[in-house]
Amino acid sequence: MIKTDSARDLVGPPTLPARRGPNPWLRRALVFVSCVLLLDGLFGDRGLARTISARQEFRRASENLASLKRKNAALSDEVRRLREDPATLEAVARAELGLIRRGEILVILTDLH
């Protein structure tokens, strides 16, 4: 049997020196930088709030464009009918200009009350 003089041999493997705790300033700096990045991501020029606003503006512009396209198509159809359909042209001339054909008699009715 071998004799040992050291108490370390009796306790077990050697222990490492105590480790220092993390630097509190480093942790605070990381939290600060994270908060700045989060706030910039939410409220910055290209942040979430601006993105939502831009999407709403885009939706309104798209709806307005669709409405203008429908109106343009209706006006184009009316122009085509006025150019190609004599009955449509006659109806507009009678309604808006008060024109009549030769030989027709214009009768104007007024309300006496």
From the number of C-beta atoms within 10 Å of its C-beta (0-12, 13-18, 19+), residue 18 rates as exposed
- How far are the Cα atoms of 13, 19, 20 from residue 16, in angstroms, in the given order? 10, 8, 12
Mean pLDDT of the chain: 85
Q: What is the pLDDT of residue 66?
A: 98
Q: What is the pLDDT of residue 45?
A: 80
Cβ proximity of 48 and 41 under 8 Å:
yes
Instruction: With cut-offs at 50, 70 and 90, classify the pLDDT of residue 10.
Output: low
Locate 57 and state its tokens.
Answer: 């503006």
93: enclosing H helix or E strand: helix 86-97
Euclidean distance between CA atoms 93 and 87, whole angstroms: 10
* Predicted TM-score of the model (pTM): 0.53
- Statement: residue 4 has pLDDT above 70: no
- Statement: residue 55 has pLDDT above 90: yes
Cβ proximity of 41 and 47 under 8 Å:
yes
- Statement: residue 37 has pLDDT above 60: yes
Domain ranges across the chain: 31-97
Question: Is pLDDT larger for residue 3 or for residue 39?
Answer: 39
Euclidean distance between CA atoms 90 and 102, whole angstroms: 13
